[in-house]
């Protein structure tokens, strides 16, 4: 298991300097850092990082609109597929994807409503599955792993089982605690072979839904990050873990904390 950081910087030297200061050598880069993405531009950025001894381990691609996921915006889906193809052809192995964020309900005045406006077997479900088939077909073509940031384990497993692509996986994130999922048993439920990427995130619950949760440093909060990391290690996970949403903490402290867990 390795520790990295997210970055949206377009300046290669700035990224390299931040990595050196933190003592890491891998990044997940926001797609917005490379205007008008194509294979050559991604490869050039990747090679410039390699020259500075930094690995571009993955990219964070834009959140698709609800219309795109439901098949009502073909142009957007085409652009997304072109982006996935370019990233894969450039030799970047993984993308972090938030495919169902447009289905999240953030209404603070209705905290009792379901967090995900998605129901297996509903009228819209077939169109959601077709969207995943489209992106998976590109991922299979260019051997690109899609780490889907979807907290609902049963929903994600249904997508995997229906689509059948080995390149559809998950970004394991302890934020799943917000919708009532158990972050401590997630590795076993998801299966380590489908975990393509990990976040490290901690929260304190004060109430229901998003408004009822507060972001805190990794060594505080309701989630036992040490237990989560241990579960990953015991399952044989050898990928990247990146701290995020640290409350009043900072990235340097989070990296040091994760390094101490991995050393133990």
Q: Is residue 186 situated within a structural domain?
A: yes
Q: Is residue 196 situated within a structural domain?
A: yes
Give the model's pLDDT for residue 119: 82
Give the model's pLDDT for residue 111: 52
Q: How many domains does the chain have?
A: 1
Q: Is residue 192 situated within a structural domain?
A: yes
CA atoms of 177 and 174, how far apart (whole Å): 6
Structure-block tokens of residue 262: 């991995």
Give the model's pLDDT for residue 148: 98
Structure-block tokens of residue 244: 């995020």
Q: What is the dihedral of CA 216, 220, 221, 222, to 10 degrees?
A: 150
Q: Which residues contact 258 (CB under 8 A, 6 or more apart)?
A: 3, 200, 218, 225, 229, 241, 243
Read off the pLDDT of residues 218-241 as tens digits, 9 standing for 90 and up.
999 999 999 999 999 999 999 999
Residue 264: domain span: 176-264
Contact 62, 82 (CB under 8 A): no
Q: Is residue 66 situated within a structural domain?
A: no
Q: Is residue 134 situated within a structural domain?
A: no
Q: Is residue 13 situated within a structural domain?
A: no
Give the model's pLDDT for residue 114: 60
Which H, E and C letters describe 81-117, residue by residue?
A: HHHHHHHHHCCCCEEEECCCHHHECCCCCCCCCCCEC
Which segments of the chain have a pLDDT < 70? Answer: 105-115
Q: Is residue 168 situated within a structural domain?
A: no
Give the model's pLDDT for residue 42: 98
Q: Is residue 189 situated within a structural domain?
A: yes
């Amino acid at each position: 298991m390795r520790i990295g950081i997210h970055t949206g910087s377009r300046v290669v030297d700035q990224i390299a300097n931040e990595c050196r200061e933190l003592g890491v050598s891998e990044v997940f880069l926001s797609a917005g850092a490379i205007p008008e993405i194509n294979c050559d531009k991604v490869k050039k950025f990747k090679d410039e990082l390699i020259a500075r001894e930094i690995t571009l381990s993955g990219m964070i691609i834009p959140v698709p609109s609800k219309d795109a996921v439901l098949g009502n915006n073909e142009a957007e889906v085409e652009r997304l597929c072109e982006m996935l193809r370019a990233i894969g052809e450039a030799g970047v192995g993984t993308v972090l994807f938030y495919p169902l964020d447009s289905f999240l309900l953030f209404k603070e005045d209705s905290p009792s409503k379901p967090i995900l406006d998605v129901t297996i077997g509903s009228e819209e479900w077939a169109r959601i599955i077709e969207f995943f088939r489209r992106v998976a077909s590109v991922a299979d073509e260019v051997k690109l792993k899609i780490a889907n940031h979807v907290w609902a384990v049963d929903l994600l497993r249904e997508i995997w089982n229906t689509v059948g692509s080995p390149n559809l996986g998950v970004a394991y994130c302890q934020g799943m605690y917000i919708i009532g999922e158990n972050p401590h048993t997630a590795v076993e439920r998801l299966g380590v072979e489908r975990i393509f990427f990990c976040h490290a995130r901690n929260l304190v619950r004060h109430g229901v839904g998003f408004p009822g949760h507060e972001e805190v440093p990794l060594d505080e909060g309701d989630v036992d990050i040490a237990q989560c990391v241990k579960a990953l290690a015991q399952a044989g996970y050898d990928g990247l873990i990146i701290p995020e949403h640290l409350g009043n903490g900072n990235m340097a402290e989070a990296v040091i904390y994760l390094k101490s867990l991995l050393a133990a």
